[in-house]
Amino acid sequence: MISNSFTQEACTKHSEDYEVTEMIDYGSFGDIFKVKTVSDNKIYAMKQIKYRGLFQNDPYIMNEIYCLTHLKHKNIICLHEIIIDTDEIHIIMEYAANESLDKFLVDHKDMEFHHRYKLFSQTLQGVMYCHDMDVAHRDLTPSNILLTKDMVVKIADFGLAVKCFTESGEPVYCTDYIGHTSYLAPEVLSQNPFLPKPADLWSLGITLLFLIFYSVPYNGLQEDVLKDILRDTWTTFVESKSKTAGIVVKQDIVNIVESCLRVKVNSRPSICDLIREWDNIAPDSLLDTETFTVGSK
Ligand SMILES: Nc1ncnc2c1ncn2[C@@H]1O[C@H](COP(=O)(O)OP(=O)(O)OP(=O)(O)O)[C@@H](O)[C@H]1O
Ligand SMILES: [Mg+2]
């Protein structure tokens, strides 16, 4: 768990200062509401998390609090305040009016590639900042990538985030194997202690496929997903989805997906490597005139 000095005594705010205007989502970890301040009608999003006993003993609550209080970047959701009641925590944060990338894309399947390119660029910037701050997110999925009304990406949901190094500078190997199965790296699915940053890179590869095709190559039970990963079935996925959509994805983009989806952890790029590669892609078009091949780089 990420440690934190945040205490209930330090909290002088009141949840009555906010009025719920809309239910946004029932999260598995907490419910999300759109709220406004009673005093001046300012709009925020509120994540309401129930707890029992000491909330400081709940790693997911403490991870979220630590990250939102420490991470300040234009592509990370901005914390407004945290209110601690006796059995609930209210996390008041900026409201992302276009909600999550997965919900947004359902209604905007015709979004041009240069827009999708920008969304992925911003996601990469947010992840680079986290990794620079020695934090891995571990639950990077389109449902945790939020969009403001001006289409600025805001990474959210830091319940599974971890520090990547111990205080004495040793790399942290994670031993909790959770997250959205479709986005989990093979080392997580096979339940081997794993380094969290490369696992984020895997999730970014799957997220990129989602941005292109609005679906992901790996679905189902953990053991089935792992089998599919080891058979590299994402390539078949790209071929069949491209055929159905009548497009040919640029070789450069396929190469980037391929690098993120390397089973061998050490062979995956760092976030800086990935950004360098991504910046080299012309953002104008998704299409290429030639058929792609995997691993031709
Ligand atoms: N600040 C926000 N502005 C607008 N919508 C938000 C905001 N925060 C969260 N949401 C919406 O609520 C959903 C769930 O939020 P979040 O991921 O933080 O909760 P969770 O309990 O961890 O849920 P899950 O386990 O389903 O990821 C998001 O996918 C998004 O659609
Ligand atoms: Mg979430």
Domain that holds residue 182: 101-279
Q: Given phi > 0 = left and psi -120 to 50 = alpha, else beta, which region is 295? A: left
Question: Which positions are annotated as active-site residues?
Answer: 139
Give yes or no for residue 73 having a pLDDT over 50.
Answer: yes
144 alpha carbon – ligand 2 mean position (Å): 5
Q: What is the mean pLDDT of residues 124-136?
A: 98
Q: Which residue's CA is minimally distant from atom 27 of ligand 1?
A: 27
82 plus 107 within the same structural domain: no
Record the pTM.
0.93
158 plus 268 within the same structural domain: yes
The per-residue pLDDT for 247 is 84
Which atom of ligand 1 lies closest to the CA of 29? Answer: 21
Report residue 215's pLDDT band, with 50, 70 and 90 as the boundaries. very high
Q: Which residue's CA is minimally distant from atom 13 of ligand 1?
A: 25
Give yes or no for residue 2 having a pLDDT over 80.
Answer: no
81 alpha carbon – ligand 1 mean position (Å): 17
Token representation of residue 240: 């069949």
What is the CATH classification number for the domain harbouring 49? 3.30.200.20
CB 73 within 8 A of CB 129: yes
196-213 and 271-279 helices, crossing angle to 10°: 30
> Is 284 contained in some domain?
no
> Is 2 contained in some domain?
no
127 plus 150 within the same structural domain: yes
115 plus 58 within the same structural domain: no
In the 3-class helix/strand/coil scheme, how is the chain assigned residue by residue? CCCCCCCCCCCCCCHHHEEEEEEEEECCCCEEEEEEECCCCCEEEEEEEECCCCHHHCHHHHHHHHHHHHCCCCCECCEEEEEECCCEEEEEECCCCCCEHHHHHHHCCCCCHHHHHHHHHHHHHHHHHHHHCCEECCCCCHHHEEECCCCCEEECCCCCCEECECCCCCECCECCCCCCHHHCCHHHHCCCCECHHHHHHHHHHHHHHHHHHCCCCCCCCHHHHHHHHHCCCHHHHHHHHHHHHCCCECHHHHHHHHHHCCCCHHHCCCHHHHHHHHHCCCCCCCECCCCCCCCCC
51 plus 154 within the same structural domain: no
155 plus 181 within the same structural domain: yes
Exposure string over 242-273, b if 16+ CB within 10 A, otherwise e? beeeebbbbbebbbbbbbbbbeebeebbebee
Q: List ligand 1's pocket residues with C-beta within 6 A.
A: 24-25, 27-30, 32, 45, 47, 77, 93, 95-96, 99-100, 103, 143-144, 146, 156-157, 159
Give yes or no for residue 160 having a pLDDT over 70.
Answer: yes
Residue range 233-290, pLDDT digits in tens = 999 999 999 999 888 899 999 999 999 999 999 999 999 999 999 999 988 766 655 4
The per-residue pLDDT for 162 is 96
What is the CATH classification number for the domain harbouring 113? 1.10.510.10
Which atom of ligand 1 lies closest to the CA of 100? Answer: 31
Q: Please choose, from the candidates 270, 175, 184, 259, the residue with its C-alpha nearest in 3D space to the C-alpha of residue 226.
A: 184
Task: Give the mutation target among 35, 88, 94, 100 for probing the ligand 1 site: most ligand atoms within 8 A of CB.
Answer: 100
155 alpha carbon – ligand 2 mean position (Å): 10
172 CB contacts (<8 Å, ≥6 apart)? 162, 163, 164, 165, 166, 195, 196
Report residue 295's pLDDT band, with 50, 70 and 90 as the boundaries. very low
Q: Count how many domains the chain has.
A: 2
